[in-house]
Amino acid sequence: MITALLVGLAGTTGALLRYGTDAGIEAYHARRRQTPQRDVPFPAGTLIANAVGSLIIGLCWGTLREAQLDIGQYNILAVGLAGGLTTFSTLSVAAVTLWRDGRVGAAVVHVAGNLVLGLGAAWLGLRLVGAL
């Protein structure tokens, strides 16, 4: 029961970090714009959140495999924190929206970037803890 509560709290923390990442990037871009934003901006916040979450999960999975992390700790950090931080659904909707708006190149870069950075970050996390 305690682990489930901690997973929920960690998930809330991850979701707030994702929101803060998106809000921070949008605030930065809003300061640089002279006209109101009409198009969906490139979803850099989603890309950053998914890459960081993949790194966290890679670190946790590798540490779990090396028996330096128990399953409860793994669930709190990987399922809770990284799970709340990462988002496949937002990636999908942003890609479809970019495509629909005629920004095909941005949609392809978004999907490919998430895939390449996510896999690379997970690999790096595993590598850093000696699991590869």
Annotation: binding site for Na(+): 83, 86
Give every CB contact of residue 47 below 8 A, 6+ residues apart in sequence: 110, 113, 114, 117
Side chain identity at 9, as an amino acid letter? L
Residue 61 CA to residue 70 CA, distance in Å, equals 10
> What is the Cα 36 distance to its own chain's centre?
27
Q: How wide is the angle at C-alpha 38 spanned by C-alphas 112 and 93, nearest 5°? A: 35
Which residues sit in the known binding site? 83, 86
Side chain identity at 96, as an amino acid letter? V
Residue 127 CA to residue 13 CA, distance in Å, equals 26
